[in-house]
Structure 1
Amino acid sequence: MKSDHTHPQTRGDTIHWARWYDLLTTAVLLGKERALREMMVEMAAIKPGDTVLDVGCGTGNLTLAAHAQAGEAGEVHGIDAAPEMVEAARSKTGGSETAVDFQVGLIEELPFPDDYFDVVLSSLMIHHLPDDLKRDGFAESRRVLKPDGHLFSIDFEPPTNPLVRHLLAFAFSPGMTEVDVREYVSMMKEAGFKQVETGKTNFRYVSFVRGNKDN
Structure 2
Amino acid sequence: MSTFVVFDLEFTTWQGALEQDWGAPGQLREIVQIGALRLREDFSVVEEYEALVRPVVNPQLSSYFAELTGIDQETVDREGASAAEALGDFLGFCQGQSVLSYGNDMVVLGENVGWARARGENVKNGFLGAYFLNIRSWLNTVAPETENVNVGRLWQVLDLPKPAEGKEHSALFDCYSFAAAIKHLCGTGAALPEGCMRCP
TM-score by length of 1: 0.29
Flag the structure with more relative contact order, 1 or 2, with Cα contacts below 8 A and sequence separation at least 6: 2
Bigger strand share: 1
